[in-house]
Structure 1
Amino acid sequence: MSEPMTHSEGAGPTRRDFLYITTGATAAVGTVAFAWPFIDQMRPDASTLAVSSIEVNVESLEPGMSLTVKWRGKPVFIRNRTPEEIEQANSVPLEELKDPLARNANIDGTSPATDLARSAGEGKENWLVQIGVCTHLGCIPLGQSGDFGGWFCPCHGSHYDTAGRIRKGPAPENLPVPTFAFTSDTVIKIG
C-alpha cells in the first residue's frame, strides 16, 4: 500500500501561495510609490543645473591681471600670468613641494605638480584657473601676495606660489584646478 501524498510533495501552487506572492508584490510597489517623492527631491533643480558650468570672457585680461568669478558658490581665480611668473614656477624643484600632486581635474589624478600640469596646458601656459579656497580651512586667499608671489591666506598663514601650489603654512594641498576648457581664444568654460 502506498502512503497518502502530502501537500508539499506534489501538489502545484495553491491559493495561499498566490496570496503570498500578490501581497509581497503589492507591498513592494507601495514602498516604491511611497519612497519615490523622497528620492526625486534629491535631484538638483533647474537653477542648480544652470550654474553647473559658466563661460568667462578673458579677452580684457592682460598678462599680470587676475579675475575672480563665482562658480558653484565658490570663487575661481583666473590669472593671465606673466613670463616671469611662469619662469618662477618652472624653476621650483618638485621635491621642494609640500603637495606633489597637480590636483587638476582635467588630467590624470596622479600627475606631478609641474607648472604645466597646473596651467591650461601646452600653448596656454600663461593661463591659470583654480578654485580660490584655501585647502586648510576654506578661507579665501589674497592674490599676488605671500612669500612666493602667488596667493596668501592671512587667516592661518598658507603661502601658494604663482602656480597655486602650497609652499608654506598649514594648508595640506595645492589649490584645486576645476574642469575647464577654452571654447575660443578668449572664452573659458568652467564646469
Structure 2
Amino acid sequence: MAMNETVEPTRRDFLYLVTTMAGIVGAGAATWPFIDQMRPDASTLALASIEVDIASLEPGMSLTVKWRGRPVFIRNRTAKEIEDANATALEELKDPVARNANLADDQPATDLARSAGEGRENWIVMIGVCTHLGCVPLGQAGDFGGWFCPCHGSHYDTAGRIRKGPAPENLAIPPFEFVSETVVRIGQAAAGSA
C-alpha cells in the first residue's frame, strides 16, 4: 500500500466504533444514579445559608437563630460593650485568634476582627456553642458581661472571646455578610447570587 492511498472504513470498523460508543453511553447511564445520589438534596442546600432580618434589634438586644442545626447569636452591642471589648489587651486573652470564618486564620482576636467589621462594630454574629463541650452559653452573663456557660463555668466577653474557664477557644464566627442595612446572610451565598 502506498503512502498516498486512503483506506475506506469497512463495515467492521463502523460496528466496532458503534459498539464502543454504545458501551460508553451504557456505562455512563448505569453509573449516573450512583454519582447523582452523592449530591446534597434540596433541603441540605436550603440550610447552606439563611437570611435574618435584624431591623428590630436595638442596641443591647440579641437574637438567636438556628443555622445548620446550631444556634447562632446575633447581637447589636451597646457602646459600653464595644468599649469594654476594646479595652481588653490581647495579652489577657486565653485564645488570641479571632476564629472568624470571614478573615484569615491567623487574624488576632481584636474586637474589630470579632465584629461585623469597620462601620458595623456594634454587630456580632457567633455560633452559640461553647468550645469546651458544646453547651449553649447564656447571653449577657458571666464575669465579663458577654456569655457564660453554666455547665462548666466558661466566661466569654462582649466580643465572644474566652476569658475564663475550661473552654479552649473563642466562640466561632460563621461566614456571614450584610445583604442590606437590615438583613444579614449567614452561610455561603446562594447559587447565582453575588
Q: Distance in 1 between matches of 2:32 and 2:155?
A: 48
- The alignment status of 1:80 with 2:76, answered yes or no, reads yes
Measured on the aligned residues, the alpha-carbon RMSD in Å equals: 2.2
1:160 maps to 156
* Match 1:61 to one of 53, 57, 75: 57
Matched with 1:18 is none
Question: Residue 49 of structure 1 is aligned with which of 45, 60, 64?
Answer: 45
Matches within 5 A, 1:122-137: 122-137=118-133
Query: 1:37-82 CA distances to partner (integer Å, 9 max, x unpaired)?
Result: 4553332100110121111111100000000001111100000000
Q: What CA deviation, in whole Å up to 9, does each residue of 1:76-125 have, x standing for no partner?
A: 00000000000000000001101110000111111000000000000000
**SS of structure 2 residue aligned to 1:87:** helix
Which residues of 2 match residues 10-29 of structure 1 at below 5 A? none
Distance 1:35 1:169, change over 3 A: farther
Unmatched 5+ stretches in structure 2: 1-22, 188-194
Q: If you compute each CA radius of gyration, which structure gives the higher value, 1 or 2? A: 1
Q: Percent identity?
A: 77
Compute the TM-score of the two structures, normalised by the length of structure 2.
Answer: 0.80
Aligned residues: 169
| Match in the other structure for 1:178 | 174
Q: Does 1:120 align with 2:116?
A: yes
> Is 1:188 aligned to 2:184, yes or no?
yes
Give the TM-score normalised by the residue count of structure 1: 0.81
- Which residue identity is paired with 1:126? N
CA deviation map 1:155-183 (0-9, x unaligned):
11111000000011111110010111111
1:34 Cα offset (Å): 7.0
Output the CA distance in 2 between the equivalents of 1:142 and 1:39.
44
Secondary structure at the aligned position of 2:125 is classed as: strand
